[in-house]
Amino acid sequence: MQIPDAVYHLMRNTQLKTCDLSSNVIKKIPAKFALKFNLITDLNLSHNQMTKLPDELADLNALARLNISHNSFIVLPPVVFKMPELRELDASHNAIIEIDTDEMITSDNLELVNLRHNPLGRTCHRKLKNVSTSFRLEISEYNEDDDW
């Protein structure tokens, strides 16, 4: 399931700042979402069935908080590190096993990245433990039983 086109039509003259789409069965956010609602500062997509985010979400120039927790992400979407004003990212409780630490380090405005309760691989976990960032990084302790 994705966001119905009727939503865009009904809200065409609305300047949306906060959007809570949590606890649905959304599998996909359309690329046009960022174009239609480009003033959003807080986006909650938690408790859905998403596995990826469109690159166009990088156009959410005002987005400060993004919650993608409790979804089905295996890889942390690279677009989250291209959002210019993103300060808080909650990607906890997914199935994330790999993260591009180089992209993460270059994010200027990040203050908090929550990656707890993801089955990060041994190498990825070690990299994250040793990486020097300007933001608070929260990860769970490595558990051999979680290694896929």
Q: What is the pLDDT of residues 82-93, one digit of tens each?
A: 999 999 999 999
Mean pLDDT, rounded, for 102-127? 87
- Quick check: 118 and 93 in contact, CB under 8 A? yes
All structural domains of the chain with their residue ranges: 5-146
Between 72 and 128, name the one with better pLDDT: 72
Mean pLDDT, rounded, for 84-109? 88
Model pLDDT, residue 127: 87
Supply the pTM of this predicted model.
0.89
- Quick check: 124 and 98 in contact, CB under 8 A? yes
Q: DSSP readout, 5-49?
A: HHHHHHTTT---SEEE--SS---B--THHHHHTTT-SEEE--SS-
Domain 5-146 -> CATH class: alpha beta
- Quick check: 26 and 45 in contact, CB under 8 A? yes
Between 103 and 141, name the one with better pLDDT: 141
Share of the chain above pLDDT 90, in %: 61
> Is residue 113 predicted with pLDDT exceeding 60?
yes
Model pLDDT, residue 134: 81
